[in-house]
Every structure is written in structure tokens, then in C-alpha cells.
């Protein structure tokens, strides 16, 4: 006669560890804050970046900086120059160079549009942010025209006036 067992199997405990917000795409990995201060930003385009494995891991750790970076169109291809991605902490002797030129992945139609617009005097490509989308690193490029000092002061005046107006509205609603 077969022996009946009332043995219950328990499944492994579920891992509800929250995922890193940068890796999950909920927060930007790097933002170029000085871009909106130094340039008038217009058309924005999303581009992929050809990266090495240690570069992706460094970006996940938050070791990316876009402050002095800019985009370059050459021979029908786009490149990202001066973007600093720090060395990966657990890398070995084959770690990446932090300031190497990286290829941007855009389709031909986007390249053609950007090439036409950057040929106009005073326009350049500036990366505004790095972020993850579906596990891949993306770079947002903006077509930029440099600001003069008086433009920067005007922008600051406008920002201060808006801030004071919001504060006044908040004060009047509290009373």
C-alpha cells in the first residue's frame, strides 16, 4: 500500500528588492544642467550610443558627466565627444578610456535633418541627458545656439519674476 504524504512544498521567498531607479529608467543617469544656461535649446532627438560593457556599468553607478560634451556630424555619422564616463569600480586592466569618442546611433533621416540644421551659423549639437530605456543607454541631443551674457541675465530675470509671482499667489491662497 502506498504511503500518503501530506508534505507541502514551500516556494522560495520572493525577492521584492527595489530596482535602481537609474537602471529602471525612472531617473536620468546624467543631466547637462549648464546646457540650458549657456544655449537656446530647440529640436531634441533621442540617440543610442555605442558603448562598451564597463561604460554601461559605470553609467548605472552614476559616473557620467555631460558638462563639456558636444555632438559632431562627420561623414554621415554622429559622434559624442568629451563625454566623461568614469572608470568602472570593478573593472580590470581592460577598462575603458573615460573621454573616448563614442558613436551615436541615429537613422539616416535624423542625420540628414541634423546635418542641415547644424550647417547654419551658430548652431551645434549638445547632449542634454543620458538615461536608460528598455535596458539600453540613450542620449538626448538638442540643437543649440549660444547665448550672449545679456541673454543669460534676461533669462535669470524672467525666472526670478516667475518665482516671485508664484510665491505671491501661494501667500494669498494661505490667507
| Number of domains the chain contains | 1
pLDDT at 163: 93
| Domain CATH number, residue 143 | 2.40.280.10
pLDDT at 78: 92
All cell numbers assigned to 108: 539616416
Is 129 within a domain? Answer: yes
Low-confidence ranges of the chain (pLDDT < 50): none
Instruction: Indicate yes or no: pTM above 0.75.
Output: no
pLDDT at 12: 61
> 3-state DSSP call for residue 55?
helix
pLDDT at 81: 93
Domain extent, residue 60, equals: 30-147
pLDDT at 103: 94
Is 172 within a domain? Answer: no
Is 15 within a domain? Answer: no
| pLDDT, tens digit, 9 for 90 and up, residues 46-59 | 999 998 888 888 88
| pLDDT, tens digit, 9 for 90 and up, residues 55-75 | 888 888 888 899 989 999 999
Is 159 within a domain? Answer: no
Is 1 within a domain? Answer: no
- Burial code (b: 16+ CB inside 10 Å, e: under 16) for 118-146 equals beeeebbbbbbbbbbeeeebbbbbbbbee
Amino acid at each position: 500500500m502506498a504511503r500518503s504524504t501530506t508534505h507541502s512544498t514551500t516556494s522560495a521567498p520572493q525577492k521584492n528588492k527595489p530596482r535602481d531607479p537609474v537602471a529602471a529608467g525612472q531617473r536620468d543617469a546624467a543631466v547637462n544642467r549648464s546646457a540650458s544656461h549657456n544655449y537656446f535649446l530647440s529640436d531634441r532627438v533621442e540617440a543610442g550610443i555605442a558603448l562598451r560593457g564597463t561604460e554601461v556599468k559605470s553609467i548605472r553607478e552614476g559616473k557620467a558627466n555631460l558638462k563639456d560634451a558636444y555632438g559632431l556630424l562627420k561623414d554621415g555619422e554622429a559622434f559624442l565627444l568629451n563625454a566623461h564616463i568614469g572608470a568602472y569600480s570593478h573593472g580590470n586592466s581592460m577598462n575603458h578610456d573615460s573621454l573616448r569618442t563614442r558613436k551615436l546611433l541615429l537613422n539616416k533621416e535624423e542625420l540628414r535633418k541634423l546635418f542641415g540644421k547644424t550647417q547654419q551659423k551658430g548652431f551645434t549639437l549638445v547632449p542634454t541627458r543620458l538615461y536608460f530605456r528598455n535596458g539600453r543607454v540613450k542620449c538626448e541631443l538638442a540643437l543649440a545656439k549660444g547665448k550672449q551674457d545679456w541673454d543669460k541675465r534676461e533669462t535669470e530675470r524672467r525666472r526670478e519674476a516667475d518665482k516671485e509671482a508664484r510665491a505671491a499667489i501661494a501667500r494669498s491662497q494661505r490667507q
